[in-house]
Chains A and B, each alone.
Chain A
Amino acid sequence: MSWDLLTVALMAGAANWAFRALPILARMERVAASGWLGRFLASTGPAAIGTLFVAAILPSLVPDLARLLPVIVGTLAVLAVWFTRKSVVLATLAGALAHGATTWTLG
C-alpha cells in the first residue's frame, strides 16, 4: 500500500472524526450561533453541498444529446421523487435508475 495514500487517508480521517465528534464532546450547541463565525459555519454546509453538486454535474454538461439527455432525465427524476416523497435516498436511487434507463434506451 502506498505511504502517500495512507498518510492522506489518516489525516483526512482524523479530521473527519474531529469535525464529527469534538463539537458534540465540547457541547458546542451551547455556544451562541451569532457573530460572523456562527454565520460562516452555518453557511458552510449549504455552500459545500451546492458546490459539490455543481462540481459533480459540470463534466456531464456537454453539447452531445446522447450524453446530455440521461442527465436531464435523471435530474428530473430526482426532482420529481424529492417533491413527492421528500426522501434523499429514494430521490438519489430514482435519479440513477432514470439516468441508466435513458442510457439503455438510447443504446
Chain B
Amino acid sequence: MTRTRPPFLDGLAASLPIVMGYFPIAFSFGVAATQAGFTGLEAFALSLIIYAGASQFLALALLSSGAPVLVAAFTLIAMNLRHVLYGPALMREAGEGATRRHAWAWAWGLTDEVFGQALGALARGQRFSEPYMFGLGLGAYASWVSGTVVGAYAGGGALEGWPAVNAGLGFMLPALFLALLLSILNRRQLPVIVVAGSVTVVATLAISATSGILLGMLAGAVAGVLRK
C-alpha cells in the first residue's frame, strides 16, 4: 500500500471514528462518576489507569456500594479477560515478519474498537506498522481521557436541562455493546451468546447484576468449550 503520510498520522486519522464514539461515552462516564460521589480527579484516574469502558462503569457501582477492594478488582479483571485474544488474533493477521518491539507500549491501547479498526485495516490490505498502532491507540485514549474530564467537570447538573441528551448518552453503552455483538455474530458463536445472555438474565434477577455479568460470561465460555 502506497503511503502519502507517516504511518503514525495514518493511525491517528483512522482513530477519528473511534474518537467520535468514545468522547460521548467517556463524557457520560465522567458525569456518572461525579453523580456517584467521586471527584473529577478520581474519574480522571479511573479512565487513565483502567481504560476499559464497561468495567469502569462497573467500578463505579462496586466502589460506591462498598464492595471489598479485592472483590471489586477481580470482578473488573474478569470482565476484561477477552482482551487476551486480541493481540494474538491481530499478530496472526499481521504476518510472520511483523515487528512487535514496542508492543509493550502500543498494546495498552488495544481496546475492542481499536482492535476492530486495526484488524479491518489489515483485512483491506494495509501493511502492519507499529507507528500506525501508536497513532490509532493514542487518538482513542486521548478521546477517552479528555471526554471523562469534560464530563466530570461539567457534572450531572450540565445535563439536567437536557433530558433527551442525557437519555441518549445513557443509551450509548447498550448501543455500543449491541453494535459490537452484531460485529462478531456468526452461526458458530450464536450458542455461546445465547447461553451467556440467558444466564445473565436469570442470575441478575435471582442474585445481583454483578453476579449476572460474571456467571453469564463464565457460562458462555463453558458453552464454547462443550460445543462440538
Contact = CB atoms under 8 A, between A and B. Distances in A.
Given A13-B49, A82-B179, A100-B171, A23 B87 contact: yes
A47 B179 contact: no
Contacts of B17: 87, 89-90
Interface string A35-69: 01001111111111111111111101000000000
B217 A28 contact: no
B220 A46 contact: yes
A97 B216 CA distance: 29
B179 A92 contact: yes
B213 A7 contact: no
A11 B77 contact: yes
Nearest to B17: A89
Nearest to A73: B171
Interface residues of B, number: 94
Contacts of B206: none
B181 A99 contact: no
A50 B192 contact: yes
Contact of B165 (A16, A40, A100): A100
Interface size class of A (residues with CB under 8 A): 35 or more
B86 A20 contact: yes
A93 B171 contact: no
B57 to A, nearest CB: 9
Contacts of A39: 224-225, 227
Nearest to A6: B45
Contact of A4 (B49, B69, B196): B69
Nearest to B100: A24
Contacts of A28: 87-88
Contacts of A24: 87-88, 90-91, 100, 103, 107
Interface in A14-32: 15-17, 19-25, 27-29, 31
B20 interface: yes
27 contacts: A1-B45, A7-B73, A11-B77, A16-B80, A19-B80, A21-B108, A24-B91, A24-B100, A27-B91, A28-B88, A43-B221, A43-B227, A44-B221, A45-B85, A46-B192, A47-B224, A48-B79, A48-B81, A49-B82, A51-B220, A58-B201, A74-B175, A79-B178, A79-B182, A89-B17, A91-B178, A93-B20
A-B CB proximity, top 3 nearest: A43-B224, A47-B220, A100-B168
Interface of A: 1-2, 4-13, 15-17, 19-25, 27-29, 31, 36, 39-58, 60, 70-71, 74-75, 78-79, 82-83, 86-97, 99-101, 103-104
Interface of B: 17-18, 20-21, 24, 38-39, 41-42, 45-46, 49-52, 54-55, 59, 62-63, 69, 72-73, 76-77, 79-92, 100, 103-104, 107-110, 112-113, 116, 163-165, 167-184, 189, 192-197, 200-201, 204, 209, 212-213, 216-225, 227
Given A1-B39, A19-B83, 19 more contacts: A4-B69, A10-B49, A12-B76, A21-B103, A43-B192, A44-B82, A48-B220, A49-B193, A50-B192, A50-B200, A51-B200, A51-B216, A54-B200, A87-B17, A95-B172, A95-B179, A96-B172, A103-B163, A103-B168
